[in-house]
Structure 1
């Protein structure tokens, strides 16, 4: 059987997450990142994450050593059916890199950008065969969290999106095809709204960072992990579901319960947030927090699959 080949361009936290997920699903990965020490950082990231992906289950032929760094973009993308770009979130830089990739990639390859906010039509500008460039936005840690938002641009046709859906589903992801371009896509827009409100709560002295985290961890977060906000509110309406919920609580949407604009990120607010997080974490290192997070996510993913085994494609 021919080895599946993918290319990863840019090997920071997100790029390495893609590499680990691809390796765990039996791919040979070709990588390119001119940053000094990139290869060693990738090797360490694989060593740290491999126990977690092993717990989730490895594909036949999965090999943590099956990643090779190349000295040029052209060498890295040669032969790849899936190419994932992960350079810093600057429009001009991403356009330049994607244009270069498009000039040397196979014409049938899917070129996915991990951008968290830029529209695909903007990314496609100036590229060769621009319809092959799409947004494929993951969530950290990529090797564990299965959601990937797929967004096509003005030049992208449905068969390309279908091909992308199959490729990402083939590496254990839950692709969500977003039919309309919008800055920030879907999931980040939802998280950004919560993040802004959390900053206001801390800034106004209503609660500490630890208390805000507790409100999500032991309240909304537990419910959202299983159902998300809409089904959660559907249950809140009793036997009549969302119909009664909107009748009962709809008027509250007009009350000043939220502040949509982000607060000014003053030095004082920064110190409240930074100090609160450091105090909350205590003596636990970032590496230990990551290990605990990974163990938790593996168990949680297994639980979610037990309750929603039928969930496949999600379209927006």
Structure 2
């Protein structure tokens, strides 16, 4: 992959704006495009509001909001890009046409990544003349604060493109994971969906209310998941015998006794309203902006706590710790 100096952001909603903020904080020139009225004003306001947070994480040399430019002309935006991050609406036919247009207008040695949360790259790249350089680079919201990026190619994506995307995301402080197969929704969203299905079922069955369900996650397993994934935590749960003891003596009974009882709720209008009422009661009058600010402050604090414990030499082959240090220098 050639050196990346100029990033094109296609689509500047919440995800695109978060990506733009992250790339600016990493010292890139960023050109953004979006046909929506008022898109440039909204994007610049987002970057300005988020800049304190990325400053806390640490800015790369040359980082500045002043390196952001905007154009309503998509072809102009991608014409000189070294890397494209697409964040358009989640409509398959729209994505297919958009990617074909981006592919046609972008330099042939640039990688084109999609932030799509559910559509596979094999679908998106259908009409591209150069599908080998297209790849999924799915972030987690907000992209300027959450390190995870899911990387997966389509049937026509070149292996070199996937490797280059993995290395690039790691080099800018992200935590990329490579998916070996395509699945609708990728991986992390499917994990969220599996958990939330059970949350909805428990609310439906009047086992607990909305606020208690949130507490059950955020003050219990959610705290542990913030420092280790479930597989490593089960290793600890096995005691001196570790994961082997857990699998032999605990996972079997759990799978046999509990898994069959997990629910399959029906999202009726009544259940939907029950959740809405519960969420608004839990929010207790706090605005979306106030809740987001609280979330972001805690995310920053958690990452600061985790930073000294990060290991180098991760599965990407990149020294992730060094990459993070570069980001913060």
TM-score range, shorter chain: over 0.9
| TM-score in terms of structure 2 length | 0.91
- Matched with 1:254 is 256
- Offset at 1:174? 0.8
- Matched with 1:67 is 68
| 1:178-217 mapped onto 2 (5 Å cutoff) | 178-217=179-218
Change (3 A) 1:117 1:153: same
- Offset at 1:99? 0.8
1:17-36 alpha-carbon deviations (Å, 9 max, x no partner)? 10000000001111110011
Q: For structure 1, list consecutive stretches of 5 or more residues without a partner in the other structure.
A: none
> Contact between 1:136 and 1:151, CA under 8 Å: does it hold in 2?
yes
- Offset at 1:86? 0.7
CA distance in 2, matches of 1:45, 1:286: 14
Change (3 A) 1:259 1:69: farther
CA distance in 1, matches of 2:102, 2:214: 41
- Matched with 1:266 is 268
CA distance in 2, matches of 1:20, 1:86: 14
Q: Secondary structure at the match of 1:149?
A: strand
CA distance in 1, matches of 2:315, 2:140: 17
| TM-score in terms of structure 1 length | 0.95
RMSD, matched Cα: 1.7
- Matched with 1:244 is 245
CA distance in 1, matches of 2:301, 2:260: 33
- Offset at 1:262? 4.5
- Offset at 1:261? 6.5
> Contact between 1:174 and 1:313, CA under 8 Å: does it hold in 2?
no
- Offset at 1:121? 1.1
- Offset at 1:314? 5.6
Q: Secondary structure at the match of 1:226?
A: coil
What is the aligned length?
314
Q: For structure 2, list consecutive stretches of 5 or more residues without a partner in the other structure.
A: 318-329
- Offset at 1:278? 0.8
> Contact between 2:4 and 2:82, CA under 8 Å: does it hold in 1?
no
- Matched with 2:312 is 310
CA distance in 2, matches of 1:259, 1:175: 34
CA distance in 1, matches of 2:170, 2:15: 18
Change (3 A) 1:258 1:81: farther
| 1:125-144 mapped onto 2 (5 Å cutoff) | 125-144=126-145
- Matched with 2:87 is 86
CA distance in 2, matches of 1:65, 1:195: 40
- Offset at 1:71? 2.5
